[in-house]
Amino acid sequence: MAVPPIQASVPITDAPIPIGSTASTSSLDDKNLSIRSSANSVPSEEELSLKRNPFTDPRVAAQWKQVYDDCEYECRYVFDATLDWTEEEEKRVIRKLDWRVCLWACVMFFALQVDRANLTQVISDNFLDDLHMNTNDYNVGNTIFLVAFLFAELPSQLISKKVGPDRWVPAQICLWSIVAALQCLINGRGSFFATRALLGILEGGFIPDVVLWLSYFYTSKELPIRLSYFWTTLSLTGVVTSLLAFVILRLRGVLGWGGWQWLFLIEGIITFFIGFTSFFMMPASAVQTKAWFRPNGWFTDREISIVVNRVLRDDPSKGDMNNRQAITPKILWSALSDYDLWPLYLLGLVIYIPQAPPTKYITLIFRGSGFDTFTTNLLTIPYNVFHIITLILLTRLSEWLNERTLVSSIQNIWMLPTIAALRWWPGTIYNAWGTYAILTVLLSYPYCHAILVAWVSRNSNSVGTRGVSAAVYNMAVQTGNVIGNFIYLDNDKPLYHKGNSALFAINALSIVLFVGTKLYYVWRNKQRERVWNGMTEDERTAYIANTRTVGSRRLDFRFAH
C-alpha cells in the first residue's frame, strides 16, 4: 500500500527551522507547495496553515484517514484534521506526558542499568578473588553478556511490535530481575558466564522497545530532549548504585555471604518491583489509559485528541501501523537493506568504543591507584553528575542549532585530549589523584546517544522501518561494546598502554566518521533535489499520489543531518 505524503514537513521559506519542529521533519513531500511559493518572500496564510497542519488539504486528510482505517490504527477514531487547540492546552498535555510517560520510562531504564552495570560495583569488592577469576574472565563475561544482548535486540523488537511494548517491556524487567537476584548464588566461572548470557538475552531490545513507545506520545522535536532525560538516568543510576554499593558491600560476612552477593540480591529485588509496577504504568497508547485500576484514565477526551493529533500532524506516518501489528518479513528486509541508514549504524558501532573500557575498568583502575573499596565507589559519583549536565546541554545545543552531526562529534572531540593524557602522561596510575582527574574529565563527556537515536528514528520515516532501525542501531552500539571489551587486557595492565593507544586511534576515526556522515547526507539530499526539481508540477503531484515507495526511499524525502 502506498503511503501518502507528509505534506507539512517542508520549510516554505529559507529561514532556519528549529530541530524537530513540524516544518523540519526531513521529508519534502509537499515540495510542489514549496516551489510554488519560493518566489514569494512571505508565505501566504494558506501555506503557513498547511505547514503547521498537513491535513488542511482535504485530499491529504482523506488519504491518511484511509491508511489509518486500513491498518486499524488504535487512535484512528480521534483523528481530526480540523481540531484546534491553544498553546497553553498543549503545554498542559506535555506536562502530563512528561510526568506519566517520560518519567516512568526513566524509572524502567534505571531498572535496566542497575542490573546490567552493577558488575562495576561488585568487582570493587572481592568478587573476582572469591570466584577465583581474573580480569580476562571478567572481559569474557562482559562479552558474553553483550553478544547475547546484541542478538536479542531484533527478536525482542519483533515480539514487542506484535504484542505491544506495554506488555513485553514489563515482562522483560520481571524476568531479568529474577536472574539478576539469583547472581548471589554464583559459585564460579561457569555460573558467572551463564547468568551473563541470560541477562543479555532478557535485557536485549529493551531500549528500542521503550524508544518506540515514547514515539507514540511525543513529536520529533520533543523526542530528542526526552531521550536525553532517558539517558541521564544512566548517570543518575551510577550515582545511586555507587551509594548503595557503599552501604551494601559493608554487609560482607553477614550470613557468611560476600558483600557482592548481598548487592546482587537486593538490587534484583528492587528491579523486580519496578517491572511488576510497569504492567500498570505503561498504557498501549494515548486512547488506552483507562483500565480497571485506572477508571478515569490519564486524559480528558479533549486531551486525548490533542495528544494524538499533534503527533500525527508532526509525522503522519506514526499511524501507518497499529501497536499490535507485527513487522512482516518484507518490512524487515526493506528496513535492513536501507543503505542510507548505514552511516548512522556505523557511527553507533565506532563512536562509543573509546569510553567503554575506562567506564568498565574505572573501579579497578582506582583500586590499582591505591584507593580502597568504599572510597572507589564514592569517587565514581562526580563524573556521573557531570555526565548528566553535559548530556542535556549537548542535546539542547543540537536542538538550538538544528544540527546533529557536528554537534554530536563534540563527544569525541572532548575525549581526545583526555585519552591522550591517559596514554602518554607518565603519572597515570602512579599519581592517584591525577589519574582520578583525567578519568573524571574523560567520563564526563557529553553523550550524543539521545541525538543519534532520535536521528535514526527521523531518517527512518515509517513505523515499520523505525522499529527495525532502532534495534539495528542498538545492535551496532552493542557490537562496539563487544570490541571495547578486548582493548584492556590482563597482559597490558596496569597502564594499558596498548589499549589506550588503540582508544586514541578509534576516537580520531570517530571524528572523521562524523564529518563523512555529514557530507554523505548533504550529497544524498542534493541528488534527490536535482531529480525532484527536474520534474514538472504534474509529475510531482502524480508521484506523491501514486508512489508505492515508502520510508526514506521516497524521492521527496530529505535526510536530517
DSSP labels, 355-395? THHHHHHHHHHHHHTT--HHHHHHHTHHHHHHHHHHHHHHH
Q: How far apart are CA 527 and CA 511, in angstroms?
A: 25
Angle (CA) 433 508 364, round 5°: 30
Per-residue burial over 201-238, b if 16 or more Cβ lie within 10 Å, else e, is bbbbbbbbbbbbbbbbbbbbbbbbbbbbbbbbbbbbbb
Query: CB of 464 within 8 A of CB of 335?
Result: yes
Q: Which of 289, 326, 274, 325 is nearest to 96 (CA)?
A: 289
Q: Which of 416, 419, 436, 445 is nearest to 235 (CA)?
A: 445
Q: Which of 429, 427, 420 is nearest to 367 (CA)?
A: 429
Tell me the sheet residues that pair with 291. Answer: 294
Number of H helices, E strands in the chain: 26, 0
Other C-beta atoms lying within 10 Å of the C-beta of residue 398 = 26
Q: Which of 446, 470, 498 is nearest to 344 (CA)?
A: 470
Cβ neighbours for 557, distance < 8 A, ≥ 6 positions apart: 26, 27, 28, 29, 461, 528, 551
Query: CB of 530 within 8 A of CB of 428?
Result: no
Residue 51: per-residue pLDDT: 55
Q: How far apart are CA 27 and CA 253, in angstroms?
A: 62
- Could you give the C-alpha distances from 502 to 244, 364, 489, 546, in angstroms and in order? 34, 19, 12, 51
Query: CB of 208 within 8 A of CB of 153?
Result: yes
Q: Which of 94, 77, 193 is nearest to 137 (CA)?
A: 193
Low-confidence ranges of the chain (pLDDT < 70): 1-51
Q: How far apart are CA 327 and CA 336, in angstroms?
A: 12
Q: Which of 504, 503, 520 is nearest to 360 (CA)?
A: 503
Residue 321: per-residue pLDDT: 85
Q: How far apart are CA 154 and CA 277, in angstroms?
A: 25
Tens digits of residue pLDDT in 27-51: 444 333 333 333 344 444 444 444 5
Model confidence, pTM: 0.77
Secondary structure of 120-179 in HEC code, one letter for each residue: HHHCCCCHHHHCCCCHHHHHHHHHHHHHHHHHHHHHHHHHHHHHCHHHHHHHHHHHHHHH
Q: How far apart are CA 196 and CA 194, in angstroms?
A: 5
Q: How far apart are CA 228 and CA 214, in angstroms?
A: 12
Query: CB of 399 within 8 A of CB of 225?
Result: yes
Q: How far apart are CA 367 and CA 121, in angstroms?
A: 12
Cβ neighbours for 274, distance < 8 A, ≥ 6 positions apart: 107, 108, 110, 111, 173, 177
Residue 11: per-residue pLDDT: 33
Burial class (CB in 10 A: 0-12, 13-18, 19+), 488: buried
Residue 489: per-residue pLDDT: 81
C-alpha cell at 45: 496564510
Q: Which amino acid is at 172?
A: Q
Q: Which amino acid is at 121?
A: Q
Say how far residue 276 (Cα) sits from the centre of its chain: 23
Query: CB of 222 within 8 A of CB of 310?
Result: no
Query: 291 by DSSP, 3-state: which?
Result: strand
- Asked if residue 494 has a cis previous peptide bond (ω within 30° of 0), the answer is yes
Q: How far apart are CA 549 and CA 541, in angstroms?
A: 14
